[in-house]
Structure 1
Amino acid sequence: MAFALMQGLILLIFPVTIFRSDLPSDGDNISITGRIYRIEEGESALLIYVRTLPDKNGKKKKVICHVKSETEYEIGNLVTVTGKCRHFAPATNDGQFDSALYYRILNLDYRITDAKCFVKDDSIRFYQNALYRIRRAFSGVYKNSLPSERAGVLCSMVLGQKKDVGDEIKSLYKMSGISHILAISGLHISLIGMAIYESLKKLKLKVFVSGSISVFFLISFGIMTGNSASAIRSIVMFSLFIIADVIGRTYDMLTACGLSGVALLMTEPLYMMHSGFLLSFGAVMGIALIMPVISGFFPKPDMTEKMIYDKSKKRILKEKIRDMVFSSLKMSISVTLATLPIQLWFFYGFATYGFLLNLIVIPLAGILLVLAIFGGCLSLILTSLGKVFLFPSSVLLFLYEEAAKGAMRLPFSYPVIGRPHPVSIAVYYVLLTCFCLYNFRLSDSRNKRGNHISILLPVLGIIALCLKLRTATTCTMIDIGQGDSLVIEDKYGANILIDGGSTSVKEAGKYRLIPYLQCHGITRIDYAFLSHGDKDHYSALIEIMETQKENRIRIKNLVLTHFGKTDETYDEVKSAAQKNGINVIYIDGGAKFSLPDADIKCIYPSKKTVAEGNDQSMVLLFTCNDTKMLFTGDLTEEKEGEALEKVKFPVDILKVGHHGSRYSSSEDFINKLRPKTSLISAGVNRYGHPSPYAIKRLENAGSDIYVTLYSGQLRVVFKKDRYEVNEYLK
């Protein structure tokens, strides 16, 4: 199992690209026929999961259909669905969520939007359909009985419906370290399974009968909630525990963990690249291998002699509570140590006080689940009676929220570290392994001091994970869709943002720019330059400003040209800056910003320049070592001549103006600049960007051309006497 986890980390570090040649073309109008095997309520449409009938090669596809209809569909219905085929989008930037890989792991091939669904055969699968109806009934009970935010948390915890959880709660739980309770985790499955099993045994049912009923219930629960990797792992391990109990054999956690891992990987090897799989199995490995070592630092007192001479029940209860707290603390520390690199790889930060907060959350989770399930069942019979049991659930969720908010008010509550280097991950696990082996071989009686000195090993490992060393200055053109955004990371720590916006990607800050910054551990933007007042250059910039507290990214200075003082197109971004305490600087041609390893000089517009719209674009010349890079915003050919007056020809790299528009990058402009490399930021658009005319002019000048639409993120690495361009999708 440890090998599988390491293999998963290797695959993440050196990812494979998923190519699918057997799918319909993206955007095609298609028609499929198949049976419904799952139904979910989406945010704006009903999500119907269809397993198609075999094609001419005997293969079946699994498709998500977004259906807006009042028709009642049942699991098992044979349906024909028509609509527009949409492929799941792959990641095109560092830090971006890879939908293509995620859904490939879940064995989903594509989705159909604007779908129309026609029932051809109304036969149903009674068992699965009954589970779907139970899930829908419980969801309705929670939503009708509790405030919307807490109802959403219960729907996520008990039913696996994450869509019902608000963004604010998701962010709070994630940053405080208790987001695991929002998923159908192994913890939930284990608590439910053991509660049922022990209850049935107390009813004097035979062990075999109690175990069989418990396992059947958990399998049904897993199917109802979507069979996540952690749920499957827990169900398999619980089943093996029951089998061991029935036949009178000793249950071995590592063996059960290994068998469940093999079972999952046999169905889908790509689970090794899935965060849920790695975190779930990593947590079990931590409990099985690290917790016994950590226990050596929490010696349990010998209660025998005390209990002979001290008959006080209060004293015994106090000792039991202390032992329970220590046990929870040991488990929390062990799981954190085992999964820390995985958390940083996927989420780029960690909750500093999460292991303490879980001392409250985990023990109460069992009570919360029992109350939620029991209250839901009673509400189906008598609404008022169910609410009596759901009210304490609401109180517990309120305590969770307040505890999380309290943790977030503490200093360094959620440091954004960034994705660790593969070498750092290897060093961390080597040091953690040495820590475990060293303490396994030492007994407390032989060398207590040695045990405590060995704590330095995991501490050094954590330092290795958090250590960020830049070996070169870089400039990255983010694939932000139809817009512009470039991030300069100076070798010695300075961070510059040039534009940040998109008109083709909704919430481009949330889904493209902020993940990139967090992935690279960037929490401070020294200067954010805004070329001009078009929304496709500042929409994501405003998102960063308005979510600085949540995303831990602080912009120190916003830099505008003199047009920003009077032109109303800048009002929205200026207002956001002032509201969030960001200093606004106005510059003109001649202004210079010195970085430790580079210089940025504004060469246009001058104080006397009169222009409107795109011709107000700030033009910047970036120099690192002997390499020159020119940023032209959306400048058109009408003002390119004025900008050229301040440029010493040639330049090495050109950020092509206006997304490669035919009305920018004129022949005279290109011939004078003679760029060796040209970078174009463009997404799917109706303007024809990049224009064939602009491309032809660049080709005639002998320039190497890179376009984010085809290459994804473009990263320029400036070395001592040269530079190189790395394409994300190549």
Structure 2
Amino acid sequence: MRNRPLCSVCLLWIFLIAGIVWFGGEKAEAYFSPSDLETCVEDREEVLVSGTVWKKEFTENRQTYYLTNVSIHIHGRSLRESKIILYRKTNSKKQTENEIFCGNKVKVTGKLRYFDRARNPGNFDQRAYYRRQKIHASVWIDKVLKNRGKQEQWRERIWRLREHWKEMLIRQLGKEKGGVLTAMLLGDRSAMDPEIKELYQVNGIAHILAISGLHLSFLGTGFYQFLRKKSGSYPLGCAGGILALSLYVLLVGKSVSVMRAFIMFLFRVGADAAGRKYDSPTALAVAAACVLIGQPLYLKDAGFWMSFGAVLAMLLILPVFVELPFQNVWAGLSTQILLLPIILMAYFEISLLSLALNLLVIPLLTILLMMAVLASFLWLVFWQESVLLLKGCGWILAIYEKSCDLALMFPGARVTTGKPDLWQCMLYYLIVGGVLLWIKKRKKTDDMKEDKIGKTVVKDCRKNPDRQKKLRGNVIRVGRKKAGRAERKSDRKSRWAAVLGTGIVTATAVLTIPQNLFSGVQVTMLDVGQGDCIFIRTPDRRAYLIDGGSSDVKNAGKYRIEPYLKSQGIHKLDAVFVTHGDEDHIGAIEEMLKRRKMGVRIVRLIFPPQSVWDEKLFRLAETGQGCGAKICIIEKEKQLLEKSGKEIFRIVCLGPDTGQKMEPGNEASMVLAMEYQKRRFLFTGDVEGAGEETLTQELKEHYQNVQWDFLKAAHHGSKNSTKETFLESVYPKYTLVSSGRNNRYGHPHKETLKRLEKYGSRLYGTASSGAVTIRVNGRKAWLTQTLGACYY
């Protein structure tokens, strides 16, 4: 680094910021992203917002406006914010009457909404995502009071150009393929089919959807080289390339990958113009420092690490394989080696076929971008030729989709490892870095030895040039030395490959350690909003689910349950217990059954006796059979048992009692008791009325001397369940309540809370705590909450 002072200074800055951000916790985030708004205004309060529109996005259902220089007026106070988001439902009449342009100063009223934190481990943290963009809240517009000021013509024209380009692509290629090409060219994923987006992601080719160095180098370098050759002038070529790239950056937005590629491009053309050598490490370090100066919290963004990590892999790891054939393969492998911990921390799984898919995708991507950009430029002049080029783009995108579908058909194509901890990632990089340094050192030493041998042979040949016999002998010696050198070089390559392979396998094994360390029982009550979902992991590493559904969270299976399961290293559920047929208990199960190809597979569904089924349970059973799940029935007093030495894990069905006449639904809800290491759990579903009375009688007769440690309150803490007679027979130490925040039912009801307090039970709920996890190992039990120590 002695010859790279600028690179050294930037690296020092990056390490300093990284230390503050990673080890400063919430205080660091508050320091880098201060906001008086969050301390002065409650969620869902009516506010008056004024600011300047700098960006807008339209979808089928809503209009989105980004404001800068924001003032928020409430309670006689005026609070300043750097940015805020406004949402308005799409209404053609209102849009025509009061159209908002980029640059307009607007004043609106509406309800302020804060972004959600991740309420379950592994879930998307909306609050952290928008904090990195310096946005702390959003407002749904009720009324536009003022819309004045001159519109910024250049911003508005860029937005209209972007929208026309997007509409043209979708009109010619259809919504599915047009949405994919829009994401590739414009960085706009709003029109992209969510299933296609997920298909690319699980197969490890989602990076082609981001505006990256390939896109910018294709456009900027293309203009630069074209103008330089035609004019013969480096300055003119540089100016043209920079201008073209700057316009494209304004069009697609200043994302991390775009800014990284743009800054590195400036270094490249600047070096050419100045007649100096382009230094990739310095350009990369300066780009990272510039991005972090704008927002240090990008250090917690996976996109930042993937963008810079892909280039870093080419600089640090690829040179190890430089003497080997098939450089495209080794380039892809180098990227996978460096980005593996980042991919697992972001997505919790990796595709084993992603390297092979990228060998197909990357070469075709260059052709795809060339055809798409050329078709876009020719659209107004040579319409027919443009349509043909876009059809060619559609064929390439069809190849991508078919290849991804085919890859998922291979067994073990996706490996779900769970989310590694920070210390594991650091240990991984230490192992890989140590191996690479060893190979580099050995390579340098061996090259010095070979050079020394070669110099000795040449010197020996030159001693007696007049003696033909001696010369012939030296020539033979030279040939033997060369043959021996080639043989030793081959042996060295094999040895290096063995050492590198062993190091990577060892480092990769380190990333999967945490999911296998804990050998006891884990029970997690997931936050699915107004609904129920309980995850159980047994001592034998089996994974069970009790219910799964929500009445106020859309796609709870995809966005709440599956990310959590994958973060725990779960790729299949051995069984799902279905307590009854309410939508807030089975909606996500049905969703997960249909998503088995890209989500978490369900092996079997366990239902209560068929006599208490309603129409929804019959429909769910039919869906399960169609999706390959086994349908099982559990009756009262039947149990699931696991034995490991003296340890016994048991789940017993306590209801419904088919001998009693019960209506399908809450009364006939399945009730399960779980026991492990003298710790007892009672899962009551939504049982109430006659069902709870029968359960109470059962507990008094057969479980009179049992101490229940954990109770899952029935029916989300409704006052119609968990009655005093029931609590007298249970006396739970801890009670868990699954309910949605500010739900319209008012769960949990105050009457239930008072009854539980009377019987000395400590209450934890998803509405305030997020997911609640209980771990039991030996005689010890731990209870943790996703959102900290919050309870009623």
The normalised TM-score by structure 2 is 0.85
Among candidates 642, 656, 662, match of residue 605 of structure 1: 656
What amino acid maps onto 2:723 in structure 1? S
| Aligned partner of 1:578 among 617, 622, 625 | 625
* Stretches of structure 1 lacking an aligned partner (at least 5 in a row): 300-325
Q: Does 1:137 align with 2:164?
A: yes
- Per-residue Cα deviation, 1:634-654 (whole angstroms, up to 9, x for no partner): 111543232134332320111
CA contact (8 A) 2:118 2:126 kept: yes
Distance 2:144 2:235 in 1: 45
Shift of 1:427: 2.6
Deviations 1:309-338, CA, capped at 9 Å, x for gaps: xxxxxxxxxxxxxxxxx2322221111111
The alignment partner of 1:359 has SS state of helix
SS in 1 for 2:651: strand
User: Which residue is 1:678 aligned to?
Assistant: 735
1:348 alignment counterpart: 348
Corresponding residue of 1:233:
260
1:191–1:382 distance in 2 versus 1, CA, 3 Å: closer
Name the counterpart of 1:591: 638
Residue 634 to residue 476, structure 1, CA distance change in 2 (3 Å): same
- Deviations along 1:7-34, one digit per CA (max 9) or x if unpaired, are 8699679964867551442212222111
> In structure 1, how many angstroms separate the alpha carbons of the residues matched to 2:19 and 2:339?
11
1:657 correspondence with 2:714: yes
CA–CA separation in structure 2 for the residues paired with 1:5 and 1:99: 26
Structure 1 window deviating more from structure 2 (394-403 vs 425-434): it is: 394-403
* Greater displacement, 398-407 / 176-185: 398-407
Alignment of 1:262 onto 2:309: no
Which one is further off, 115-124 or 72-81? 115-124
1:520 paired residue number? 568
Q: Does 1:201 align with 2:228?
A: yes
- Asked if 1:65 is matched to 2:86, the reply is yes
User: Could you say what secondary structure the match of 2:667 adopts?
Assistant: helix
| Corresponding residue for residue 306 of structure 1 | none
Change (3 A) 1:293 1:15: farther
3-state DSSP class of the match of 1:191?
helix
SS in 1 for 2:698: coil
Match of 1:84 in 2: 111
1:58–1:494 CA distance, 2 compared to 1 (3 A): closer
Code of the residue aligned with 2:719 in structure 1: it is R
Residue equivalent to 1:668? 725
The residue number in structure 2 matching 1:463 is: 509
> Is residue 726 of structure 1 aligned with residue 751 of structure 2?
no
- Encode CA deviations 1:371-397: one digit per residue, 9 max, x unaligned: 212211221345334213322222222
Q: Which of 536, 541, 548 is 1:500 aligned to?
A: 548
Q: Which amino acid aligns with 2:298?
A: Y
> Given that residues 103 and 149 in structure 2 are in contact (C-alpha distance below 8 angstroms), is that contact kept between their aligned partners in structure 1?
yes
Q: Does 1:533 align with 2:581?
A: yes
CA change 1:11–1:501 in 2 (3 A) is farther
Once the 2 structures are TM-superposed, how far is the Cα of residue 54 of structure 1 from its aligned partner?
A: 5.0
What RMSD over aligned residues (CA atoms) do the two structures have, in Å?
A: 2.3
Note closer, same or farther for the CA distance 1:118–1:391 as it changes in structure 2 (3 Å cut): farther
SS, match of residue 672 in structure 2: strand
**Cα separation, partners in 2 of 1:6 and 1:284, compared to 1, 3 Å:** farther
Q: Is the 8 A contact 1:77 1:119 kept in 2?
A: no
Distance 1:630 1:15 in 2: 36
Task: Describe the shift of the 1:396–1:15 C-alpha distance in structure 2 as closer, same or farther (beyond 3 A).
Answer: farther
1:360-439 matches, cutoff 5 A: 360-439=360-439
Deviation at 1:412, TM superposition (A): 2.1
In structure 2, the partner of 1:304 is none
Q: Which amino acid aligns with 2:778?
A: K
Tell me: CA distance 1:138–1:249, structure 2 relative to 1, closer, same or farther (3 Å): same
Q: 1:688 aligns with which of 728, 739, 746?
A: 746
Q: State how far apart, in whole Å, the 2-side matches of 1:221 and 1:82 are.
A: 35
Amino acid at match of 1:38: K
CA offsets, 1:403-424, max 9 Å, x none? 3233333332222222123343
Alpha-carbon offset, residue 473 of structure 1: 1.4
CA contact (8 A) 2:539 2:649 kept: no
The secondary structure found in structure 1 opposite 2:416 is coil
Taking the aligned partners of 1:452 and 1:7, their CA distance within structure 2 comes to 36
Contact 1:156 1:182 survives alignment (8 Å): yes
CA contact (8 A) 1:637 1:666 kept: no
**Inter-partner Cα distance in structure 1 for 2:673 and 2:619:** 27
Label 1:565 to 1:381 Cα distance change in 2 as closer, same or farther (>3 A): farther
Paired residue total: 702
Q: Which residue of 1 aligns with 2:765?
A: 707
The code of the aligned residue for 1:388 comes to L
Q: Per the alignment, in what secondary structure is the counterpart of residue 590 of structure 1? A: coil
Q: How does 1:13-52 map to 2 (within 5 A)?
A: 16=26, 21-23=36-38, 24-52=41-69
Give the 3 Å change call, closer, same or farther, for CA 617–14 of structure 1 in structure 2.
farther
Q: 1:477: how far off?
A: 0.2
Deviations 1:141-164 (A, max 9, x none): 112221221111111001111011
Match of 2:140, SS state, is strand
Partner of 1:550, secondary structure, is: coil
Partner Cα separation in structure 1 for residue 139 and residue 604 of structure 2: 44
The TM-score, its normalising length taken from structure 1, stands at: 0.92
Deviation sequence 1:24-65 (CA, Å, 0-9, x none): 422122221111101112241121111144567783331222
The alignment partner of 2:119 has SS state of coil
Measured after TM superposition, the shift of residue 607 of structure 1 is 2.9
8 Å contact kept, 1:8–1:278: no
Query: 2:612 and 2:213 mapped to 1: Cα distance?
Result: 56
- Matched with 1:244 is 271
Given residue 429 of structure 2, which amino acid in structure 1 is its aligned partner?
Y
Distance 2:380 2:137 in 1: 36
**Could you tell me how far apart the structure 1 residues matched to 2:418 and 2:167 are?**
40
Q: Give the percent of matched residue pairs that are identical in Structure 1 and Structure 2.
A: 31
Tell me the equivalent position of 2:481: none
1:44 and 1:9, CA in 2 relative to 1: closer, same or farther beyond 3 A? farther
Moved more, 575-584 or 414-423: 414-423
Quick one: which amino acid aligns to residue 579 of structure 1?
A: G
Question: Which stretch shifts more, 28-37 or 462-471?
Answer: 462-471
Which residue is 1:357 aligned to? 357
Say which of 655, 667, 671 aligns to 1:619.
671
Q: CA deviation at 1:448?
A: 3.1
Superposed CA deviations along residues 405-461 of structure 1, whole A, max 9, x for unmatched, are: 333333322222221233432331111101210111122766334312212101221
CA displacement, residues 542-590 of structure 1 (integer Å, 9 cap, x when unaligned): 1111111111x22222111114664323122112111112111112210
Stretches of structure 2 lacking an aligned partner (at least 5 in a row): 1-9, 448-488
- The answer to whether the 8 Å contact 1:375/1:390 transfers is yes
Q: Which residue of 2 aligns with 1:331?
A: 331
Spell out, residue by residue over 1:273-326, the C-alpha distance to the aligned partner (whole angstroms, 9 max, x if none): 111101111111111101111324x15xxxxxxxxxxxxxxxxxxxxxxxxxx2
The higher radius of gyration belongs to 2
**Would the alpha carbon gap of residues 57 and 537 (structure 1) be closer, same or farther in structure 2, given more than 3 Å must change?**
closer
CA–CA separation in structure 1 for the residues paired with 2:79 and 2:651: 60
Q: Which moved more, 1:358-367 or 1:666-675?
A: 358-367
Deviates further, 174-183 or 97-106:
174-183
Partner AA of 1:37 in structure 2 = W
Q: 1:61 to 1:167 in 2, by over 3 A?
A: same
Cα 1:51/1:635, change in 2 over 3 Å:
same
